[in-house]
Amino acid sequence: GEALAVSARVAPLGSRLVLLLVEDLTEARRIEAVRRDFVANVSHELKTPTGALSLLSEAVMDASDDPEAVTRFAGRMQIEATRLTNLVQELIDLSRVQNDDPLEDAEPVRVDELVAEAMDRSRHAVSTKNITMAAGGTDGLYVWGNRGQLAAALGNLVENAVNYSPARTRVGIAGRRISAPGGDLVEIAVTDQGIGISEKDRERIFERFYRVDPARSRATGGTGLGLAIVKHVAASHGGEVTVWSSEGQGSTFTLRLPEAAASRDRSPVAAPDD
Ligand code: ADP
């Protein structure tokens, strides 16, 4: 109706303009639908832990004369509270990467530092699952961008590699420089020997809240927002993230980012003449 009314009004201006306007309306509707879905998803994701917390607190009150039960319920309350904290933190991260201009405080960032930070973030899970983590090829590589956002992106990829892998497997992080017509790029590949991702799911995992197995993701504290954050950070830095995977064998997520010349990191040298 709306689109037709508009096209009737502007018809004399030519059919190309009409087409553009109709496309604009369709795009506006699509954005509105995505926004509504997002709010619905957030509400649903918040309701799960808050609902559990409220049931568990009732259970604690009812079990006041059974100290063992109280301890058990309190333990589960702690898990739900952690889940809630993770979700809120990831929502804050997502809104930050969507709203801030990452290149406003861009600087050359050492890739080996990013890798060390990412590995440190997964340190706990790595030792509990007895995962062997190895990194290489990052010496002398610098990327150009926002340190905090880049660290969050790589941290998410490493965290996923660990979460979606069985115990006693390997996670590798490999850096290299690749020449590209528009300027050199730095590639950081995170490879795991985990459960892998089917072709159908590979198309959707970068969407906000999409998970292949929601129960498994929740059990590991996942929110379904991590890869949406990674994709956003890559794109806003003029880079990209891609995935290669073989079901049951493992996955490789590759982050490609514009290289920063190492020399930019050095303090300016005083000019010899003044
Ligand atoms: P989550 O918080 O659930 O990990 P992400 O956005 O980081 O959310 O990832 C979305 C989904 O993609 C995950 O729920 C999981 O199903 C799948 N996934 C991500 N990384 C991997 C991986 N390395 N191996 C297998 N599946 C993965």
Interface pTM, i.e. ipTM: 0.99
Atom 21 (ligand 1) nearest CA? 160
**Cα–chain-centroid distance for residue 54?**
29
The pLDDT, as a whole number, for residue 266 is 45
The pLDDT, as a whole number, for residue 20 is 81
The pLDDT, as a whole number, for residue 100 is 82
Read off the pLDDT of each residue in 238-266 and give the average, rounded to a whole number. Answer: 88
Structure tokens at 195: 């459960």
Give CA–CA dist 164/269, Å, rounded.
Answer: 48
CB distance 193 to ligand 1 below 6 Å: no
Atom 19 (ligand 1) nearest CA? 160
Average pLDDT, the chain: 89
The pLDDT, as a whole number, for residue 184 is 92
Question: How does pLDDT run across 19-76, given as a tens digit for each residue?
Answer: 788 888 888 888 888 888 899 999 999 998 999 999 999 999 999 899 999 999 999 9
Top mean-pLDDT range of 7-16, 64-73, 254-263: 64-73
90 contacts 114 by C-beta, under 8 angstroms: no
Atom 16 (ligand 1) nearest CA? 212
| Position 269 confidence tier, pLDDT thresholds 50, 70, 90 | very low
Question: How does pLDDT run across 184-197, given as a tens digit for each residue?
Answer: 999 999 999 999 99
**Cα–chain-centroid distance for residue 136?**
22
| Position 121 confidence tier, pLDDT thresholds 50, 70, 90 | very high
Q: How far is the CA of 52 from the centre of ligand 1 (A)?
A: 24
**CB within 8 Å of 117: residues ≥ 6 apart:** 151, 154, 155
> Which of left, alpha, beta for 130 (phi over 0: left; psi -120 to 50: alpha)?
left
The pLDDT, as a whole number, for residue 3 is 56
Q: How far is the CA of 216 from the centre of ligand 1 (A)?
A: 10
CB distance 191 to ligand 1 below 6 Å: no
- Ligand 1 probe mutation, 160, 218, 231, most atoms within 8 A of CB: 160
- DSSP per-residue codes, 181-219: TTS-EEEEEEEE-S----HHHHTTTTSTT--SSHHHHHH
- Ligand 1 probe mutation, 170, 227, 245, 249, most atoms within 8 A of CB: 227
* Helices and strands, counts by H and E, the chain: 9, 7
32 or 221: which carries more pLDDT confidence?
A: 32
CB distance 212 to ligand 1 below 6 Å: yes
CA distances (Å), 9 to each of 12, 14, 19, 27, 29, in order? Answer: 8, 11, 13, 20, 20
* E strands in 19-141: 107-110, 132-136
Atom 4 (ligand 1) nearest CA? 222
Judge whether residue 118 has pLDDT over 60: yes
Give CA–CA dist 156/236, Å, rounded.
Answer: 17
| Interior angle at CA 252, CA 209 and CA 196, nearest 5 | 65
Atom 20 (ligand 1) nearest CA? 160
**Cα–chain-centroid distance for residue 258?**
19
Q: Which amino acid is at 193?
A: Q
185-192 and 142-145 beta bridge pairing: unpaired
Atom 13 (ligand 1) nearest CA? 211
